């Protein structure tokens, strides 16, 4: 059974940083397309960043330079380093893996078929 568990969320003041982690069990994240997605209450989910099968990263344009996605194959863990946070970054953050698109799923959320339960990030001004 594939399971993704996020951690590292919390409350932080604007300008602060957080690092989210997503650890997988029952499935190797290596050589898969994995990503971070966020959802603000009352709004749809937004793809934040991904790492494709070959280790190439992509980001939603608005977050480039502040967020960094990385992966530790030995720990089977995905990370999202978030810097210079603003209240607009407040959301539930999910990690997800695409088992059906072996190279890249892009930021097309419908292509990600295994999701974690999410971790809440709250940024106060």
Question: What pLDDT is attached to residue 88?
Answer: 94
Q: What is the pLDDT of residue 55?
A: 92
Residue 31's pLDDT is: 87
Q: What beta strand segments (E) does 10-66 contain?
A: 10-13, 18-25, 33-39, 45-51, 57-59
Residue 16 three-state SS: coil
- Give the separation between CA 124 and CA 110, rounded to whole angstroms: 31
Give percent of the chain with pLDDT exceeding 90: 86
Query: How far is residue 71's CA from residue 49's CA, in Å, rounded to a whole number?
Result: 12
The phi and psi torsions of 106 (rounded to 5 degrees) equal 60, -160
Structure tokens at 70: 């990385």
Residue 7 pairs in a beta bridge with 21
79 and 93 Cβ atoms separated by less than 8 Å: no
End-to-end CA distance of the chain: 40
Query: pLDDT digits over 41-80, tens only?
Result: 889 999 999 999 999 999 999 888 999 999 999 999 999 9
Which pLDDT belongs to residue 12? 98
């Amino acid at each position: 059974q594939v399971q993704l568990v996020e951690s590292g969320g919390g409350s932080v003041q604007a300008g602060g940083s957080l690092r989210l982690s997503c650890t997988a069990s029952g499935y190797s994240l290596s050589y898969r397309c994995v990503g971070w997605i966020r959802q603000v209450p009352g709004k749809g989910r937004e793809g934040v960043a991904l790492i494709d099968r070959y280790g190439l990263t992509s980001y939603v344009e608005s977050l480039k330079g502040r967020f960094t996605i990385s992966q530790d194959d030995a720990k089977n863990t995905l990370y999202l380093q978030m810097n210079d946070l603003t209240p607009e970054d407040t959301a539930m953050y999910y990690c997800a893996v695409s088992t059906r698109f072996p190279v890249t799923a892009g930021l097309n959320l419908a292509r990600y078929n295994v999701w974690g339960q999410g971790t809440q990030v709250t940024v106060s001004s």
